[in-house]
Structure 1
């Protein structure tokens, strides 16, 4: 169970890391991919922030994630600059691909095809 402090730090990291991506993102992964922070989980000791990212407008999502991992220190430094007066210790960051929205659209598309083929059954049942 997450503590209040974990939730607060996670929200601060999420908000501020989004701004870091706006400032530094095009220098790291280019202008084409759209990268958004969907969720942040912080460990109980507040030493690690797991940042979940959605990546759009590119077929090479893993490559974008790898480029960000290579620039991890630079991104952490930029995050630390924004958080320096808000938290005592800047958490280390790890990046994870969040494909929840992609899966949702894929499942919705499958349901749409089933409805079009009348394989869903009637709604009265």
Structure 2
């Protein structure tokens, strides 16, 4: 279970990384939408797992690889923004958040289920 401080730091990371992605890395995404859906922070606040959702893109692994290659630069920009609020600037790990796709597949499975009407039993 996350502590209140972990949730606060996670929200701060989510907001600031969103700003960094919009301002500094817009050219990296080439018109694709990248959204930070969730941030999980370790109890000691030194590691942050950042989950990303990609819209209007077919090559999300390539974009994710570019983000991972620029992790050091992203961490530096984040440190400049949040350095006064955090004592430790966390190391970022980026992951694809595929919960929306998973939910869509489940919805499609439910939509394709055909349940025949129950037969009435005669006494």
> Is the structural similarity TM-score above 0.5?
yes
**Which structure has the greater CA radius of gyration?**
2
TM superposition shift of 1:121: 4.7
Please give the alpha-carbon distance, in whole angstroms, between the structure 2 residues aligned to 1:16 and 1:112: 39
Task: Give the corresponding residue for 1:7.
Answer: 7
Give 4+ residue runs of structure 1 displaced > 6 Å after superposition.
none
* Pairing 1:43–2:42 present: yes
Query: What pairs up with 1:52-71 in 2 under 5 angstroms?
Result: 52-71=51-70
Please give the alpha-carbon distance, in whole angstroms, between the structure 2 residues aligned to 1:7 and 1:84: 18
TM-score by length of 1: 0.85
Q: Secondary structure at the match of 2:23?
A: helix
Q: Secondary structure at the match of 1:15?
A: helix
Answer with 55-64 or 22-31: which moved more: 22-31
Unaligned runs of 5+ in 1: none
